[in-house]
Amino acid sequence: MTNHKDYQSLYDLSLTNPEAFWGEAAKGIHWYKPPTKILDDSRKPFYRWFVGGELNTCYNLIDRHVEAGRGEQLAIIYDSPVTDTVRTYTYRQLLEVVATFAGVLRNQGVKKGDRVVIYMPMIPEALIAIYACTRIGAIHSVVFGGFAARELATRISDAKPVLMISASCGIEGKKVVKYKPLLDEAINLSDHKPNHCIIFQRPQETAALQAGRDIDWNTAMSTAQPVDCVPVAATDPLYILYTSGTTGIPKGVVRDNGGHAVAINWTMKHIYNLQPGEVYWAASDIGWVVGHSYIVYGPLFYGCTTIVYEGKPVGTPDPGAFWRVISQHQVKVLFTAPTAFRAIKKEDPNGEYIKKYDLSHFRTLFFAGERCDPATLFWAQNKLQVPVIDHWWQTETGWAIAANCLGIQQLPIKPGSPTKAAPGYDVHCVDESGNEISSDDIGNIVIKLPMPPGCLPTLWNNDARFQESYLSAYPGYYLTGDAGYKDKDDYLWIMSRIDDIINVAGHRLSTGGMEEVLAGHPDVAECAVIGVADDLKGEIPLGLVVIKAGVNRQETDIVKELVALVRDKIGPVASFKVAAIVKRLPKTRSGKILRGTMKKIADGQEYKMPATIDDPAILEEITAILETLGYHKGK
């Protein structure tokens, strides 16, 4: 495999001989027992990777680097502008504290296969807790810190943890969010009661501990003895990460130990083009899949330094926050969501803050989490003067389905496309009947089974729902839920979620394509297009637009220009006639715009307040604007 220097031959090998391809990749991981079978397809559609292999994820993250003589290298840089703190751990220091906290877990009776729910802010102790779980073979389930009590309760009920790990508080900008009352309420609401809760007390807030159930982190650490790594099967679960379900019941995405270690380790070199010892920053949260794969795991698998950032892209303290971190900590590669850059661009459209910092060592910017509009990509390219790489993946896959694999061969960038399918992914665009569609036609994007290592093997304790949610629509294929197309060069274009394809008088149109046009207007910071019900045409598009800071023009003039732009670029067929300027768009805490919720408001349908919403008050503002446009209930 090492002889393949170009993308195409490596990609072809991954599909024609996946056992050879991933067997070679598995050599990058330490095994107590090597796998006896690389791919087990005896129980389709439940494929298993590296059967017979035994390993320990924590050993691969920390111990092996210390044993290889790299113990003094930084493993974690904790940077918290909200508390004015920078703290670091070398690999050797991290090994000591993780092994000791694993001893704390052992003292509480936690054993291999037990579940531990972690409800923590962006502090190093969150990673220490995760690594300690992996060290003893316990299955962790991280829930985004500050998540609503009812949502936390559903996850406790499903995972049935023997233990909870939390902190006294998180910090959102200047606001201290008390975690302990949320944790207590969630446990009260849940039909499962964990035996104990370990609480890390932060100086900003001291939580009251419940006698007999709650344990102080530092007190427990003071008496614990370090423990060694416990070998687990490659097919044993590493973690459960809950993703929102359409029924309101969250889906517990399972990640296994072996496939995850091999795939994530492989991506660090082949997709991100990192070298061991370099600093890699995924500006996300450990509550999301990006935080799991590329804050907690990826950098340490490959012997890099990871950054744990407790702050925002703007406001902590200004739009130069990201550039300060990159400059101060010598970051080589940044991975973030396009929405973070749109926030920066809105506050600092001319990039004045970028000029204040030395970014000469910064090499590449990666985007994922939502579709990257070309306007944002061009802005980032122009201001940073580095390659800006869009890539596409999901909570369920754990790593990129499509990417410009810089460590193999950098392919030409096509703004708006995440480039081609990554090795291991056999991606197709099909119509409703499952027939392959011609290039440039929008269809449903599916992945032929088996999916590569690191992707979900099933849902937690729910094989039936796994099949129903992902595999039943097109037998033999995984349904991504995304719509888009392949062009003549096999580049993928992810236009929207399948639910966001709108049908205007019989024409299937992508809201993502219209958003791309709106985002290209010089005054627009960010935007969303939703399909709203129309008696004549079935659906028509409605644009909601946020204007850049410092723009002083008549809103009516801007709206007229936006309508004309869509008509010019997409055509009258789009029936794009209505746009409104809003102060902000409703988003999840990970930065995804809540298009589905806005569509329900516009159509006068009942909707459930999304658990992950960043600020519920925004929906009231949007509702009022939609009502003035003649939408919403009673329109």
Sequence letter at residue 188? N
For the ranges 89-93, 134-138, 414-418, which has the lowest average pLDDT? Answer: 414-418
Quote the CA–CA distance of 132 and 619 in Å, as a whole number. 40
**Percent of the chain clearing pLDDT 70 (strictly above):** 97
pLDDT (mean) for 33-49? 97
Reported as a pLDDT band with limits 50, 70 and 90, residue 506 is: low
pLDDT (mean) for 381-407? 97
- What is the number of H-type helices and E-type strands within the chain? 20, 31
pLDDT (mean) for 231-238? 98
What DSSP character marks residue 120? -
434 DSSP β-pair partners: none
DSSP strand pairing (305-309 vs 279-282): parallel
pLDDT over 90 (residue 328): yes
pLDDT (mean) for 444-462? 97
Q: Can you give the pLDDT at residue 505?
A: 65
- 321-338 per-residue burial string, b: 16 or more CB within 10 A, e: under 16: bbbbbbbebebbbbbbbb
Q: Can you give the pLDDT at residue 510?
A: 75
pLDDT (mean) for 563-588? 86
- What tens digit of pLDDT does each residue of 529-545 get? 998 888 777 788 999 99
* DSSP letter for each residue of 439-475: TTS-EEEEEESSPPTTS-SSBTT-HHHHIIIIISSST
133 DSSP β-pair partners: none
Taken in order of first residue, the domains within the chain and their CATH numbers are 7-311+391-484 (3.40.50.12780), 505-628 (3.30.300.30)
Q: Can you give the pLDDT at residue 245?
A: 54
Q: Can you give the pLDDT at residue 422?
A: 98
Q: Can you give the pLDDT at residue 385?
A: 97
Helix (H, G, I), strand (E, B), or coil: what is residue 533? strand
What DSSP character marks residue 609? P
Three-state SS for 158-213 is: HHCCCEEEEECEEEECCEEEECHHHHHHHHHHCCCCCCEEEEECECCECCCCCCCC
Q: Can you give the pLDDT at residue 1?
A: 41
Quote the CA–CA distance of 147 and 613 in Å, as a whole number. 9
- What tens digit of pLDDT does each residue of 170-187 get? 998 889 999 999 999 999
pLDDT over 60 (residue 633): no
Q: Can you give the pLDDT at residue 596?
A: 84
Quote the CA–CA distance of 405 and 314 in Å, as a whole number. 30
Query: 3-state SS of the chain: helix, strand, coil percent to 5?
Result: 35, 25, 40
The dihedral built from the CA positions of residue 438, 444, 449 and 451, taken in this order, carries a sign that is positive
DSSP strand pairing (139-142 vs 388-390): unpaired
Average pLDDT along the chain: 92
Reported as a pLDDT band with limits 50, 70 and 90, residue 348 is: very high
76 DSSP β-pair partners: 89, 306
